[in-house]
Structure 1
């Protein structure tokens, strides 16, 4: 007599049995929005970077690409080691981190209250939002010569470029974060007799904070881009400046090394902000 099949189907319901349960578990682990274990997430992420590094190593090792176009990983690492040993890399890192910190903090400090204001009051939205929309479509690159004219070639010029590149985007994104606060929350505050000021500080802003934090995290990535743009012109130090100097002497190992370093710095700041967001807004995450 043949074995009983592992999957049993009934006219009134789906198939059951160990095979069906395993298939359901696989769908749950690979479906849209399905969670995966942190260890698996890290393993996949590391594997992607490892595959890209291996492809780079093979392409340069077999001389499929000329070194002037794509230097080997060893050449890049050696050059970064030399720049670190003579203090050049550390000097460039300090200059760039200082500039992006100040420029980003100034932009964020102004964008948060303005974004909350126009996201909460329609009159202020009518007065500010069209102007912000108008300016944010202007290319930041076009402001570089003007920024030099307005503020010279000091760090203030770098702050200004970072500000122009991030502030206007932040304002609109924070406005959207505030508008996503459920109207029932605001209605509850009115039912309790709270004035608008307290509704903003006790209900709207705390409810929008997780979204605002994500906005800051995303816009920080843009700030790194505008930092390099600001340092490509009229600078004497910084990661972007070193890339420009290296271009003149065809030092592609330095260029690629600094580009990779920028990616590492961006990834670190992004992951740090993401981890801080999980700690600061843990209750919101559990509620969702």
Structure 2
């Protein structure tokens, strides 16, 4: 039977609420310790199950090879491309284009984002442009880019740049706005001027978020690679995908797509490692 207590001011009787304890859970724990072996097992299953389904459907002959080739055929086609198709050169060319476009997008987008998040005047200046242009499809700019800069490498780099730069700016600006005002006010109290607050408080505080933003948005650079290599390209993974598609070489298309995924995964883990080395204090908030 629930006990009752008397409110000393109103003399009301109210039941005492029983103490409820949260049952422990390993699988559904929220930001708590998680067994490393279990995480690796789940990751392995997440990759193994789709591959197993693909193998089952393709080897059983339920679909035609032109629609879905077998894993063996895809791997064999990829090895042939490496040996005789010059795929190594295509990988290096695509990586160079992505690196150039993404580097320029970081050099321009990150300072704009810091300025937008720090100064209301800069937000008023850049927000209308950034907020409008980011909804415009990059593909629509391709004819204009070809007219302005031609069919060479600059056009491909500009396409990758346009696909990433505005998202860098927006995400960095949002990260700056999450810096507590108390940190800025303490710096002013200790005698810092505006330049010192920007360089010694805001920039160090937002630096982990900048690294995470770059790590997330580099995937967008690879997504725009195929669009960029539609512009009179003669080499590159996107070019290989388009050429293989024209001749219904689905095995080569799938191998190039998988190769882009592997390269992107390696870059992602590399950037995670660099982030942990440069900003070890931010590990609790980093995914």
Contact in 2 for aligned 1:161/1:226 (Cα 8 Å) = yes
1:3 maps to: none
Contact in 1 for aligned 2:172/2:213 (Cα 8 Å) = yes
- How do 1:1-150 residues align onto structure 2 when only pairs under 5 Å count? 13=19, 24-25=23-24, 27-150=25-148
Deviations 1:224-263 (A, max 9, x none): 0011211133211100101111111111100011111111
Equivalent in 247, 261, 264 of residue 263 of structure 1: 261
Using structure 2 for the length normalisation, give the TM-score: 0.89
Contact in 2 for aligned 1:228/1:240 (Cα 8 Å) = yes
1:285 CA displacement: 2.7
Rounded Cα–Cα distance in structure 2 between residues aligned with 1:14 and 1:144: 60
1:187 maps to: 185
Equivalent in 231, 234, 259 of residue 233 of structure 1: 231
1:5 maps to: none
**Count of matched residue pairs:** 270
Using structure 1 for the length normalisation, give the TM-score: 0.89
Rounded Cα–Cα distance in structure 2 between residues aligned with 1:241 and 1:158: 12
CA RMSD of aligned residues (A): 1.8
Deviations 1:82-141 (A, max 9, x none): 111125210110110000001100110111111111111101110111111111111011
2:250 maps to: 252
Rounded Cα–Cα distance in structure 2 between residues aligned with 1:202 and 1:109: 20
Deviations 1:122-169 (A, max 9, x none): 011101111111111110110111111111111111110011100011
2:149 maps to: 151
Contact in 1 for aligned 2:97/2:156 (Cα 8 Å) = yes
Equivalent in 195, 213, 216 of residue 197 of structure 1: 195
Rounded Cα–Cα distance in structure 1 between residues aligned with 2:282 and 2:236: 39
Contact in 2 for aligned 1:174/1:212 (Cα 8 Å) = yes
Contact in 2 for aligned 1:29/1:35 (Cα 8 Å) = no
Rounded Cα–Cα distance in structure 2 between residues aligned with 1:24 and 1:272: 37
Q: 1:133 to 1:37 in 2, by over 3 A?
A: same
Q: 1:37 to 1:280 in 2, by over 3 A?
A: farther
Please list every run of 5 or more consecutive structure 2 residues that lacks an aligned counterpart in the other structure: 1-16
Q: 1:142 to 1:35 in 2, by over 3 A?
A: farther
Instruction: Give the match's secondary structure for 1:232.
Output: coil
Greater displacement, 34-43 / 160-169? 34-43
Instruction: Give the match's secondary structure for 1:236.
Output: coil
Deviations 1:8-35 (A, max 9, x none): xxx96568xxxxxxx933x254233344
Larger helix share, 1 or 2: 1
